[in-house]
Amino acid sequence: MDQTTGHLLALAFLLLVKVGMSSQNNIITWCAVSDAEEQKCLDLAGNATAQNIRGKLQCVRGQSPTDCMQRIKNGTADAASMYPDEIYTAGVCYGLDVAVGESYNGMDGINYYVVALARRSSGDLSLLEMHERSSCHPGIRTTVGWTVPIGFLVNTSQISVNEQCNFPHAVGDFFGYSCVPGAKDPEHDPKGTNPRNLCEACIGDENDRHICANNPRERHYGEAGALRCVAENLGDVAFVKHTTVFDNMNGKNQESWALDLELEDLKLLCPDGGEASPSQHKHCHLAVVPANAVVVRLEDKCRVYKFLERVQNVFANSTQGFSLFSSAGYGQPDVMFSDSTQKLLRVMGTYPSWLGPSYTTMLQAFECEGLC
């Protein structure tokens, strides 16, 4: 073999390697955690190929969000859609980041505000002096009903958690009585030792059964249930989404307690100890909860964003055929992406910038529980 032929063969080999690496870089492996999500991922992959969208989508099945985090970290997957608390875990425990986030108004990544709602007649009520007061929570271990309000009380030094990191006992000792649906469920209280007063403001169903159940049979369950708890004078404060009042007024909720609801009868309690009207949630809230986002390895942020941008340009507003933000036909809502998503936003900063300082601070209050 002469020297020229050798050089040509070497160049050809390098070109093949480069092409192989390039094609590998164009493959995005999505980690799905349900049958529905896996099917939608496969449908997206087929439609993207049919539309000649640059890049290729592969789908793998993860057993859980945590399993997907591990797969992304070790390189057997590249991306997965996750809730805000999962994003925090992915960042802190697995060193992952976010490439794009959902936007429900087309402008920012805010999902909702968590607010503290009270009756306007409760004149001496303050978020900085809640000891021995009564509280209404949508449910235990929920973002709105637990993580944010309890995180706030810990961060403002109103609640202190013992060495055993027992939050239910700390909450029971702090409030006079509460309705925290699910507080006595075996899943959240395996030893049956959670304080009974966590369920004292609960009312169960019409037959006084299922009291404190972690489902709608408990009539004070969920955001509407927590609002009802305050409206019926069974609690001083309800921790709810900023939309909760408006979602249950003006005939939108036909239950008798909601039909009597008047906006002027309610107020928001602010973190500085003041108060505001329910429509002033942007200035008076406990935390801003971000939207879902796509978790990736730090070095893949740009690659995954560019592929999803190309996909979004074709399928985001599709009225015929495959639609990126529709779960019709998959048997459940919010498959792969939330159905209310208007567009995917590029996340330029790292995951804490997407989560935001108020929400991140609330999550940090629970670090003694051992996140990783």
Per-residue model confidence as pLDDT tens digits over 179-211: 999 999 999 999 999 999 999 999 999 999 999
pLDDT digits (tens, 9 = 90+) for 138-149: 999 999 999 999
Instruction: State yes or no: pLDDT of 123 exceeds 80.
Output: no
Please give the CATH topology (third level) of the domain spanning 23-107+291-352: D-Maltodextrin-Binding Protein; domain 2 (3.40.190)
Instruction: Give residue 57's pLDDT.
Output: 97
Task: Locate the domains of the chain by residue range.
Answer: 23-107+291-352, 110-289
pLDDT digits (tens, 9 = 90+) for 324-334: 999 999 999 99
CB neighbour list of residue 282: distance below 8 Å, 6 or more residues apart? 113
Instruction: State yes or no: pLDDT of 4 exceeds 60.
Output: no
Instruction: Give residue 261's pLDDT.
Output: 87
Average pLDDT, integer, range 34-62? 96
Instruction: State yes or no: pLDDT of 14 exceeds 90.
Output: no
Instruction: State yes or no: pLDDT of 260 exceeds 50.
Output: yes
Which residue type, as a one-letter code, is found at position 53?
A: I
CATH topology agreement for domains 23-107+291-352 and 110-289: yes
Domain 110-289 CATH superfamily:
Periplasmic binding protein-like II (3.40.190.10)
